[in-house]
Amino acid sequence: MSTFLELIDVHKYFGDNEVLRGVSLGVEEHQVVCLIGPSGCGKSTLLRCVNALEMIQQGEIRLDGERVSGRGVDLNALRQDVGIVFQSFNLFPHMSVLDNVTLAPTKVLKLHQSDAVDRAHALLDRIGMWEKRDDYPDRLSGGQQQRVAIVRALAMQPRLMLLDEITSALDPELVAEVLTLVGELAREGMTMLIATHEMGFARDVASKVVFLYAGQIEEAGPPDQMFRDPHSERTRTFLRSIIEAKRM
Amino acid sequence: MSAVVSSSVTPPGGQRRKVSRFNSGLTRALIAEVGAVILTVFTWAGLRTFQNSLEIGAPGPQIALGIEIALGLLVLIVPAYGARAIVRSRQARHLAFERRILDARAAAEDSRDDVLWVVGLGLVAAIVANGTFFLAGHHARVRSVLFNWDLIWRFRVALFHGFVWNVKLFLVAEVLVLVWALFVAVIRQLPGRAFGPIRVIAIVYADVFRGIPTIIVIYLIVFGFPLAGVEPFASHMSPNTQLFWLGTLSLVLVYGAYVAEVYRSGLEGVHWSQSAAARSLGLSQWQTLRHVVIPQAVRRILPPLLNDFVALQKDTALVGLVGLAEILNISSILKSQTFNLSPVTGAAAFFLIVTIPFTRLVDYLIKRDKARTQAG
Ligand SMILES: Nc1ncnc2c1ncn2[C@@H]1O[C@H](COP(=O)(O)OP(=O)(O)OP(=O)(O)O)[C@@H](O)[C@H]1O
Ligand SMILES: [Mg+2]
C-alpha cells in the first residue's frame, strides 16, 4: 500500500517569497504527524496547500495515490476528504451550533436534514454540546468553539484531518479540553496532520514529529527521538527556546 | 489616634489621610432653582406671545390652546425638581450634622440627581420657549408664512397626488438600484486578469457618478435625452411618464454607484477565513457566497444601504425641479399662488411621514440583529 498523503518536493511562493522550499513528507493511514517549527516557517501554508486553499508552484501532493495538486483537480471532492480546523474564526457567527455542523452535510453531501441532524447529534453529544445546539458561536467559550469546529469537520467524515494550531488562541485553561478531544481521535485511528506549539501533546499523540525550518524539513522522526535526542542543532535550539518560554 | 494604623501604611513623612470633605450641594441646588424659575417664566412668556400671535396672523387650529396650556403646566416640573434638590441637600446637611456621613452623602447624591434633571429638562424648556418666540416673531409672520395649518390642510389632496409620484419614483428606483448595484459590485469583484478591463469600467462608473452632483445628472439626462432623441424616451410618452422614467434612470445611475460601493465593502468586510472555512468543508464558491458570505455581509450592508435609500427618497424631489409634477413641484406652484410657503412645509411633512418610520425600522432591525448574534 502506498503512502496515504504524500508531498513530493513541494515549493510554494507568495510573490517572490519562497515559503516552502521543497518539502517532501509522507503520512500513512492512521498516523498522526505533528508539524513543529518557529513562527513563519510555513506550517500553516503547508496545511493550506494540502487541501488546496493555496496553490503550489512546483512539486506534487498525492492523496491515496491520486494527484490532488495542480490543474484539473476536483477541489470540492478533495475537501470532502480532507477536513481542516484553523486557529480561530472557524465557526460561522450567523448560524447556531447545530446549523454550523449540518450545513456542509446537507449542502455538499446532500444528506436529508434529519440525517444530518442525527449525525450532528451523535457528534455534539460526544463533546457534551448537544444542549448548546441552538446557541450562536459568540456565546461559547473559545474551547467550546474549537471543539465544535472539530466536530463540524468530522461531520463530513473526512479521511484526513488538518489542525492548524487550534489551541494557540485559547486561554491556557481551555487548551486541555480541546487536546483531549484530538487525543481521542488519534486513538480511534483518525489520520491527522497537526501544526502545534504544544510539545507535550505532540509527544503523547504523534507517530512522527516533523521540524520545519524556513520552509524546509530540518529533521523528522519519532517523538521520543525528536524530543530527547534531536540530531540537528537547529531543532535543539528551537526546543530549548520553547521550554524556556514555557517556564517564564 | 490613627497613628498606629497609619504608621504602617503611609510612607515616612507622608500625611495622615484627610477626613474627606462633605458637600451637601445646597448652593448648587439653590442656583438650579433660581434658573428653573427664570426659565419657567420665560417659557410662559413665550407661550403667551404665541397665543397672542394666533389672533394677529392666520388663525391656528383650536387644539393650539390646549397644547399651550399643557406645555405651560409641564414646565412646572423644572422648578419642582429644583425645589426637591434644595430639600434633599438640607436633609444631607442635617444628617452630616448628626455624623451619619454615609446617609448624608446619599442624600447629597440624590440632590445632585435632581439638579441634573433641572439642567436636562431646563434645556428642553428653553428650546420650547425660543421656538414659540421664533414662531410668533415679526407679528406672527414666521408662523403664518411657514406653518399655516389651514393652507396645508386645504391643499392636502393636491400635495398627496404629487407625493404619489415621489413614492413611485423611489419604489421603482430602489428595486432597480438593488439589482443594478449588485451587478456592478460583482463585476468589480471578478477575479483574474481577463476581467481587468471590465473591472476598470465599473470603477470609472462608480467614481464618475459619485462625483457629480445628482441635480446635474438629472439635468443632463432629463433635458438631454429627449433633446437628443434618445429612444425609448422620445416624445410618444406623456410628459409626466417621460419625466418619470428619465428621472428614475438618473437616480438609479447615481445611487447605483453608491450602493455598489456599499455592497462591495460589505462583501470584503467578511473575514477571509470565513470563506476558507466554508471552502474547506467542500462548499462550492457559489454555496460559500450564498450561505456564509452574503448572510454576514447583509448585516453590515443593511444600515448603510437603508441610509442611502432614505437619501434617495429625499432626492426624488430633485426630479420636480426639472418638471415632474411631484410634490415639491406642486407645492412650489401653490406657493406662487398663495404667496405662502406653508404648502412646501406640507411637502416636507409628507416626506417625514415616510422617512421617519423607515429610519426607526432600520435602527430596530440593527438592534434586533445584534441581540440575536451577540453574547448577552
Ligand atoms: N497570504 C499570504 N501572502 C503573502 N505571504 C504570506 C501569506 N501567508 C503567509 N505568508 C508568509 O509565509 C510565511 C509562512 O507563513 P505561515 O503562516 O505558513 O507560518 P507558520 O509557520 O504557520 O507561522 P505561525 O507559527 O506564526 O503560525 C510567512 O513569512 C508569511 O509572512
Ligand atoms: Mg500558522
pLDDT for B23: 84
Question: For the residues A90-106, what does the mean pLDDT come to?
Answer: 93
Report d(CA B292, CA B134) in Å as an integer.
Answer: 55
Say what the ipTM of the complex is. Answer: 0.87
Question: For the residues A7-27, what does the mean pLDDT come to?
Answer: 92
* Model confidence at B252: pLDDT above 70: yes
Q: Do B287 and A80 touch (CB under 8 A)?
A: no
* Model confidence at B3: pLDDT above 50: no
Question: For the residues A176-201, what does the mean pLDDT come to?
Answer: 89
Tell me the pLDDT of chain B averaged across its residues.
Answer: 85
Indicate if ligand 1 lies below 6 Å from the C-beta of A14.
Answer: yes
Question: For the residues A125-149, what does the mean pLDDT come to?
Answer: 90
pLDDT in tens, B197-245: 999 999 999 999 999 999 999 999 988 888 887 777 666 677 888 889 9
Residue B369: list chain A partners with CB under 8 A.
Answer: none
**What residues 247-306 of chain B have any CB closer than 8 A to a CB of chain A?**
271, 273-274, 276-284, 287, 291-292, 295-296, 299
Question: For the residues B329-353, what does the mean pLDDT come to?
Answer: 90
pLDDT in tens, B115-148: 999 999 999 999 988 888 888 877 778 888 888 8
Residue B362 distance to chain A (closest CA, Å) = 19
* Model confidence at B64: pLDDT above 70: yes
**A198 pLDDT tier (thresholds 50, 70, 90):** confident
pLDDT for B7: 39
pLDDT for B5: 36
Nearest CA to ligand 1 atom 17: A44
Query: Helix/strand/coil (H, E, C) string of B317-353?
Result: CHHHHCCCCCHHHHHHHHHHHHCCCHHHHHHHHHHHH
Q: Report the residue of A81, A107, A139, A193 to disrupt the B interface, i.e. the one with the largest count of B CBs within 10 Å.
A: A107
Q: Does A83 touch chain B (CB under 8 A)?
A: yes
What is the CB neighbour count within 10 angstroms for residue A237?
13
Nearest CA to ligand 1 atom 30: A40
Fold of B153-375: MetI-like fold (1.10.3720)
pLDDT for B33: 94
pLDDT for B368: 77
**What residues 163-192 of chain A have any CB closer than 8 A to a CB of chain B?**
none
Q: Do B273 and A88 touch (CB under 8 A)?
A: yes
Q: Which of B253, B287, B292 is nearest to B273 (CA)?
A: B292
pLDDT for A65: 86
Report chain A's terminal Cα–Cα distance, integer Å. 46
**B10 pLDDT tier (thresholds 50, 70, 90):** very low
**B376 pLDDT tier (thresholds 50, 70, 90):** very low
Report d(CA B31, CA B26) in Å as an integer.
Answer: 9
Q: Is the model more confident about B245 or about B6?
A: B245
pLDDT for A232: 87
Indicate if ligand 1 lies below 6 Å from the C-beta of A168.
Answer: no
Q: Does A86 touch chain B (CB under 8 A)?
A: yes
Residue A48: list chain B partners with CB under 8 A.
Answer: 276
Q: Does A130 touch chain B (CB under 8 A)?
A: no
pTM metric for this prediction? 0.72
Report d(CA B136, CA B143) in Å as an integer.
Answer: 6
Q: Is the model more confident about A56 or about B143?
A: A56
pLDDT for B4: 37
Q: Taking the domains of chain B in order of start, what are their residue ranges?
A: 20-145, 153-375
